[in-house]
Amino acid sequence: MGRLQDKVAVITGGASGIGFAAARLMATEGASVVIGDLAEEAAVDAAGKITEAGGQAVGMAVNAMEEASIVALVDGAVERFGALHVMCNHVGGSNPRKDLDLLRLDMAEFDRTMQLNVRSTLVGARAALPHLIAAGGGSIINTASVGGLSGDFLQVAYGTAKAAVIRMTQYIATQYGAQYVRCNAVAPGAIMTPALRDNLPAEAIESIRSHNALPFIGDPEDIAHAMVFLASDESRYLTGQVLTVDGGMSSHSSIAEDRRALLPDPAKN
């Protein structure tokens, strides 16, 4: 409790899934939280749940792909709570039915995915930076994905966009570190959210689980805890990094599974 006392945080896409878990945990740690979401009613409801539990939160409408909308969200947060210390650019995703391999990729989906993940992160950081600098420094947290760390057979647009988010994180960290603005990314593996349930069949989720080093799929709170750490002064010397929270999915080489089969005595493992 109190690790984010007196801090003001904005989170885009905070009405559901990982974003809501992060908003709730940040409020529990003492932050005043502004939840911005395309689903305005859901954002207001989410903030209401936090307020009922004794936290400080408001929900506002935002379309994170539009710069004017995100500027209004961030300015509104500063007007309401007096400053800004933490900016979470959390909106992202792609439609896995249209985001396939390179030759079968729907190009309109590619453009939308770049807007939803890359542009939203860039305009979110641009809107927040003057306020973070005015506050004497702060923390920008961008949501990437393990999809942005290596190649895959599907979701080329999503992976490319999240890789850009990771590189942008380093650029922001480099360009604004002198003003005490830190910028880091979290790269979640599979996390049990409405988006995951809606987009992936059960056998695909089970396939991911079977390739994690840890034998389970993470919850939104697993990412929220990492985001609270990155928002807090506990991470004051940490910038330009990617914190991968994926149950160890990306911790092993692609041939590890085959090598397990070669173990002299599988019963020992």
Annotated catalytic residues are: 158
Residue 88's SS3 state is: strand
Residue 58 CB, nearest approach to ligand NAD (Å): 15
Residue 21 CB, nearest approach to ligand NAD (Å): 8
Which of 16, 139 has the CB closer to ligand NAD?
16
Q: Give Cβ neighbours of residue 87 (< 8 Å, ≥ 6 apart).
A: 9, 10, 74, 124, 125, 127, 128, 132, 138, 139, 140, 141
Token couple for 218: 């993470």
Q: What value, to the nearest 5°, has the Cα angle with vertex 183 and ends 133 and 160?
A: 135
Q: At what angle do helices 120-134 and 67-81 cross, to 10 degrees?
A: 30
CA-to-CA dists, residue 103 to 96, 154, 160, angstroms? 14, 11, 15
Which of 38, 44 has the CB closer to ligand NAD?
38
Only one of the segments 79-87, 91-99, 127-135, 176-184 lies at the binding site for ligand NAD (rule: CB under 6 A); that segment is 91-99
Contact letters (x/-) for ligand NAD, 13-42, by CB under 6 A?
x-xxxxx-----------------xxx--x
Of residues 109 through 148, those in contact with ligand NAD by CB under 6 A are 143, 145
- Select the residue interacting with ligand NAD from 59, 124, 138, 188 (CB under 6 A): 188
If binding is defined by CB under 6 A, does position 71 make contact with ligand NAD? no
- Select the residue interacting with ligand NAD from 47, 91, 163, 183 (CB under 6 A): 91
Q: How many helices (H) and strands (E) does the chain have?
A: 10, 7
Could you tell me if residue 122 is left (phi over 0), alpha (psi between -120 and 50 degrees) or otherwise beta? alpha
Residue 265 CB, nearest approach to ligand NAD (Å): 35
- Report the alpha-carbon distance of residue 252 to residue 266 in Å, rounded: 18
Which of 180, 241 has the CB closer to ligand NAD?
241
- Select the residue interacting with ligand NAD from 56, 63, 95, 250 (CB under 6 A): 63
Only one of the segments 22-30, 171-179, 193-201, 258-266 lies at the binding site for ligand NAD (rule: CB under 6 A); that segment is 193-201
If binding is defined by CB under 6 A, does position 44 make contact with ligand NAD? no
If binding is defined by CB under 6 A, does position 184 make contact with ligand NAD? no
If binding is defined by CB under 6 A, does position 170 make contact with ligand NAD? no
Q: Give Cβ neighbours of residue 175 (< 8 Å, ≥ 6 apart).
A: none
DSSP state of 149: T
Residue 190 CB, nearest approach to ligand NAD (Å): 5
DSSP state of 170: H
- Report the alpha-carbon distance of residue 233 to residue 139 in Å, rounded: 9
If binding is defined by CB under 6 A, does position 65 make contact with ligand NAD? yes
- Report the alpha-carbon distance of residue 217 to residue 149 in Å, rounded: 19
Residue 44 CB, nearest approach to ligand NAD (Å): 12
Q: What residues make contact with ligand NAD under the rule CB under 6 A?
A: 12-13, 15-19, 37-39, 42, 62-65, 90-93, 143, 145, 188, 190-191, 193-196
